Amino acid sequence: MDLDATHDPELTSWVESANTPGCDFPIQNLPFGIFKTRNEKPRGGVAIGDQILDLAALGIRTGPTLNGLATMGRPVWKKLRKALSRGLSHQAPNRRLSKYLVPMKRAQMLLPVAVGDYSDFFTGIHHATNLGKLLRPDNPLLPNYKWLPIGYHGRASSIVVSGTPVARPRGQIKGPDQEQPSFGPSRRLDYEAELGFVVGPGNPLGKPIGIGEALNHVFGVVLLNDWSARDIQVWEYQPLGPFLGKSFATTLSPWVVTLEALAPFRCPAFPRAGGDPRPLPYLYDETDQREGGLAIGLEMHLRTAAMKAPARLSRGNFRDSYWTAAQMVAHHSSNGCNLQPGDLLGSGTISGAAPDSLGSMMELTQGGRNPLSLPGGESRAWLEDGDEVIQKGCCERAGAARIGFGEARGVIRQ
């Protein structure tokens, strides 16, 4: 994924809103999504500034999901990106495209892909260590963590697009001083700041994907908020792992930012400490170690029913993940598991070493013991009804155009 003319930071678009400083969707981004307007069917589009370019402008008719486009593979994605960049740029403008522009404010965004399967990893080593200290003070990081990308199979049916309300889940809860569990609404509702990697072509059953080819099977990246009911989770997760404490909702941003757009923001894999094991051969690739990381910044914001403006709670970065996207794909398929177009791989909660980079309320409040102070005098140990969580993401570095991911937001309903 070398840099080319589509990444030129000086490139501008005749869609003037795309040239606004701080815009999430400049011409260097060009993410894909599914949208609909009143009385029209869902279809594929590309974000450019505050507009959506209908992919029908290039003769591409996706239908209600991007799964077909995800199947086509990297050569097709790159060719399409170059065509979009040329047609939308000032350098070689294709004004015919203007009749295919739809203002974002007039469009309804939908899930970008039909997610057949969803797996959630645990790549954030700071998050894993922090939760381990809360749950297992004597043994916070289990010995398998540094040998393989730990994950579990999630629930695809409850994945929702940004803006969908989240119903407070109910389940079995047992406090440490209770003789038996009770059933009722979760009182320790949390969010988790993650990224979602959307699978592209995938692999046949029984044929693993080698790590050197793994990124060719990643269509792009979305924001992902893996809502978590901590009180339900802590009672049910032994010995088989997460279940109803996670499966009630997972919120995605609607725009798939392609790996081509992210090429300027690749970085070295997370540096392993002295004494950490070298990954086994199927998880080790020199190129992946050198540039398999992604410097994607994530922010989590909270707005209560009484607040006029959201307050930022944390700011982290995916470069703090112990395992790379390629390692996730290689490990997931290493047993012959067949990944399919549109499948979703969650990164796991992304936290950093700094106190303001923690990607969950579980960490920020030390398991609810130290509530957060919010503007206006409110406080939160856990999420309450009416609270809105807003996840944002962007990539920034010197010598490259800033690109964004939009938002993944959801309001807690009773």
- CA nearest neighbour of 232 among 247, 218, 217, 211: 247
Confidence of residue 137 (pLDDT cuts 50, 70, 90): confident
pLDDT at 94: 79
Q: What is the mean pLDDT of residues 131-135?
A: 91
How sure is the predictor about 318, in pLDDT bands with cuts at 50, 70 and 90?
very high
pLDDT for 139 equals 83
Q: With bands split at pLDDT 50, 70 and 90, how would you rate the model's confidence at 2? A: confident
Least Cα distance to 187 among 136, 128, 231 occurs for: 231
Q: How far apart are CA 51 and CA 33, in angstroms?
A: 12
| pLDDT exceeds cutoff 80 at 1 | no
What was the pLDDT predicted at 93? 74
pLDDT value for 138: 84
The predicted model gives 277-306 an average pLDDT of: 98
The Cα 361–Cα 313 span in angstroms is: 9
| Residue 322 pLDDT > 90 | yes
Q: What angle do CA 397, 44, 329 make, to 5 degrees?
A: 55
Active site residues: 127
**Which run of H or of E encompasses 71?**
helix 67-72
> What is the reported pLDDT for 324?
98
In the 8-state DSSP scheme, what is residue 188? Answer: S
Query: Do the domains 118-413 and 5-110 match in fold?
Result: no
Query: What is the average pLDDT score of the chain?
Result: 96
> Residues with Cβ < 8 Å from 406, sequence gap 6 or more?
24, 25, 31, 47, 162, 223, 253, 254, 255, 392, 393
Indicate whether 135 pLDDT > 80: yes
Q: How far is CA 3 from CA 78, 146, 326, in A?
A: 11, 32, 19
33-56 per-position pLDDT tens digit: 999 999 899 999 999 999 999 999
Residue 317 pLDDT exceeds 80: yes
Q: Give tens-digit pLDDT for 399-412.
A: 999 999 999 999 99
- Whole-number Cα distances in Å, 194 to 72, 79, 372: 26, 29, 21
Parse the chain into domains and list their residue ranges: 5-110, 118-413
pLDDT at 129: 95
What architecture is the 5-110 domain classified under in CATH? Roll (2.30)
- Compare 135 and 250 and report the one with higher pLDDT: 250
Tell me: pLDDT of 267 over 80: yes
Homologous superfamily of domain range 118-413: Fumarylacetoacetase-like, C-terminal domain (3.90.850.10)
| Whether residue 239 has a cis bond before it, omega within 30° of 0 | yes
For residue 148, the one-letter residue type is L
- For the cut 90, the answer to whether the pLDDT of residue 136 exceeds it is no
Contact 336, 207 (CB under 8 A): yes
Q: Are 298 and 195 in contact (CB under 8 A)?
A: yes
Is the full-model pTM beyond 0.95? yes
pLDDT tens for each residue of 186-232: 999 999 999 999 999 999 999 999 999 999 999 999 999 999 999 99
Segments in 296-355 forming alpha helices (H)? 325-333
Go through the chain and tell me how many residues it has.
414
Lowest mean pLDDT among 5-19, 92-106, 244-258: 92-106
